[in-house]
Amino acid sequence: MAFGQTFAGSEGSAALLEREQFMAIEHLEGEAYLTAGIELIAATNARSAGLWRAFASAADTEADVRATLDQLLDHRRADIREAVGRLRRRGLVNVSADEETAAVLSFVLSPEGYEQLVLESELTERQYRGHLARLVATVLHPGP
């Protein structure tokens, strides 16, 4: 599917974290790992926001597109749960990799957020990435 190629850089059913660009950051330590991951997501959102909008719109009227979209969203949440698990194993976060955390991070890291903040509200890429990093940090490091 065109979205997989645009978003992840390659077609296939492999988890996002197992794809080449994400495997390339595995050697990073500490906050550098988290920062690099956020940068990768921001870049993929920049590439895919327009296509995602069209895809999501088509899912509103086409049952087969809806099924594919639902599958992609399930994969996204699974990738996020795995990413949180990796961050926990590295000692970078203490939140659980549960459905709620995955759902909130899926929302924060979505192409729709890029579309709204950059394409519609005209924030710069730098501003978007800064907000993305702060929002992710808030989810991963909740207050008392």
Q: How many helices, marked H, and strands, marked E, lie in the chain?
A: 7, 0
Percent of the chain with pLDDT over 90: 60
**Residue 4 in this model has a pLDDT that exceeds 80:** no
Would you place residue 16 in the very low, low, confident or very high pLDDT band (cuts 50, 70, 90)?
confident
- pLDDT mean over 76-82: 90
CA 101 to chain centre: 13
Would you place residue 39 in the very low, low, confident or very high pLDDT band (cuts 50, 70, 90)?
very high
Hunting for tokens 């550098």 — which residue is that? 32
